[in-house]
């Protein structure tokens, strides 16, 4: 399999793993290791980088081994998102940022207007910008035209586990994109992750599907394999679908003549 390239960095793994809501730091650590993820995401709000007296929820991880991708979750406007990202950069955490601006508290779906504005502003500040967006095809194009380094359309609402609600839109987004497309949000099980990759996505970002599984470590391994399977399946070129049967064995019997 080829590498995933985002901005100026190159990655072997096509799984980006979120670090939120694991049952314990120990399970978080083991799930991260087993997943073989090279990029870890987290909410800047949760990272107590700004409050050194508090426990740092990434403290058990050897952060030098990972690329950190903080997100701006909690921000409701572009300005809030930019301030969050700048603080993260100032503290030496990262140059990459995931724009995540929620526009609806119930569905946790992203706000297109503030997402566009925040992406533009962060690019002007020199960030490597990955933008979480809905699966709106033209919106994804408009975001890409700003110059972002990756677009991250959601498969379904964050944490919903609904999987890929609209594979056609994702396929259209992937077809038109010239930067990496990372399917983000809504993945529920390995089949969903594999499907995302089979559609031609460059990577998948997961959090709740792993951290919320009964056995997060085992699910981390499952997802790691599923993403590889999906990528290989995409590269291998699947068979066409047919409404009728297509024999793999001969239809005439040994004795039928």
Does 7 carry a binding-site annotation? Answer: no
Q: Does 131 bind its own copies (CB under 8 A)?
A: no
CB of 8 to its own copies, least distance (A): 26
3-state percent breakdown (helix, strand, coil) of the chain, nearest 5: 35, 15, 45
Q: How far is CA 60 from CA 5, 50, 57, 70, in A?
A: 27, 18, 8, 17
Q: List binders of its own copies among 91-120 (CB under 8 A).
A: 100, 102-113, 116
Q: Does 137 bind its own copies (CB under 8 A)?
A: yes
Task: Candidates 17, 32, 39, 43: give the one binding its own copies (CB under 8 A).
Answer: 43
Does 207 carry a binding-site annotation? Answer: yes
Which of these ranges, 7-15, 56-64, 89-97, 241-249, lies near its own copies under the rule CB under 8 A? 241-249
Task: Candidates 28, 35, 71, 119: give the one binding its own copies (CB under 8 A).
Answer: 71
CA gap 193, 228 in Å, rounded: 9
DSSP string, 47-98: SGGG-TTSPPTTTTS-GGGSEEEEE-TT--SHHHHHHHHHHHHHTTS-SEEE
Q: Does 237 bind its own copies (CB under 8 A)?
A: yes
Q: Compose the 157-196 pattern: x for residues touching its own copies by CB under 8 A, - for all others.
A: xxxxxx--xx-xx-xx---x-----------xxxxxxxx-
Does 226 carry a binding-site annotation? Answer: no
Site size toward its own copies, by CB under 8 A: 108
> Could you tell me the two tokens for 32?
């991260």
Which of these ranges, 2-10, 53-61, 66-74, 121-129, lies near its own copies under the rule CB under 8 A? 66-74
Kindly provide the residue ranges of all beta strands, DSSP E only, lying in 77-235, ordered along the sequence. 96-99, 128-133, 150-153, 182-184, 203-206
Neighbours of 241 (CB within 10 A): 5
Task: Assess contact for 183 and 207: CB atoms under 8 A.
Answer: no
Burial 92-127 (b: 16+ CB within 10 A, else e): ebbbbbbbbbbeeeeebbbbbebbbbbbbbbbeeeb
Task: Examine the residue annotation and report whether 98 is marked as an active-site residue of this protein.
Answer: yes
CB of 60 to its own copies, least distance (A): 18
* Residue written as token pair 């993403």: 227
Q: Does 64 bind its own copies (CB under 8 A)?
A: no
Catalytic option among 29, 36, 89, 98: 98
Q: Does 86 bind its own copies (CB under 8 A)?
A: no
Which residue, 8 or 214, is less far from its own copies as judged by CB? 214
Q: Does 90 bind its own copies (CB under 8 A)?
A: no
Query: Which active-site residues does the annotation give?
Result: 98
Known binding-site positions for 1-deoxy-D-xylulose 5-phosphate? 159, 185-186, 207-208
């Amino acid at each position: 399999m080829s590498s995933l390239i985002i901005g100026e960095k190159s990655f072997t793994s096509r799984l980006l793993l979120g670090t939120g809501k694991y049952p314990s730091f120990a399970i978080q650590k083991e799930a991260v290791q087993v997943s073989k993820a090279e990029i870890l995401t987290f909410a800047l709000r949760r990272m107590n980088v700004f409050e050194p007296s508090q426990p740092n929820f990434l403290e058990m991880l050897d952060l030098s081994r990972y690329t950190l991708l903080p997100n701006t979750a909690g921000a409701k406007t572009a300005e809030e998102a930019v301030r969050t990202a700048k603080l993260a950069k100032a503290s030496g955490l990262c140059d990459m940022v995931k724009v995540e601006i929620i526009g609806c508290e119930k569905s946790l779906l992203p706000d297109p207007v503030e997402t566009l504005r925040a992406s533009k502003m962060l690019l002007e500040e020199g960030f490597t910008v990955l933008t979480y967006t809905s699966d709106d095809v033209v919106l994804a194009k408009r975001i890409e035209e700003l110059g972002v380094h990756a677009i991250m359309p959601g498969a379904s609402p964050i944490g919903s586990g609904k999987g890929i609600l609209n594979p056609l839109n994702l396929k259209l987004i992937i077809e038109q994109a010239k930067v990496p497309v990372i399917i983000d949000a809504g993945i529920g099980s390995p089949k969903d992750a594999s499907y995302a990759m089979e559609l031609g996505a460059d990577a998948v970002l997961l959090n709740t599907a792993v951290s919320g599984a009964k056995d997060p470590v085992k699910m981390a391994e499952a997802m790691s394999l599923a993403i590889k399977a999906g990528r290989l399946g995409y590269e291998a070129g699947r068979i066409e679908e047919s409404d009728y049967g297509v024999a793999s064995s001969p239809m005439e019997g040994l004795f039928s003549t």
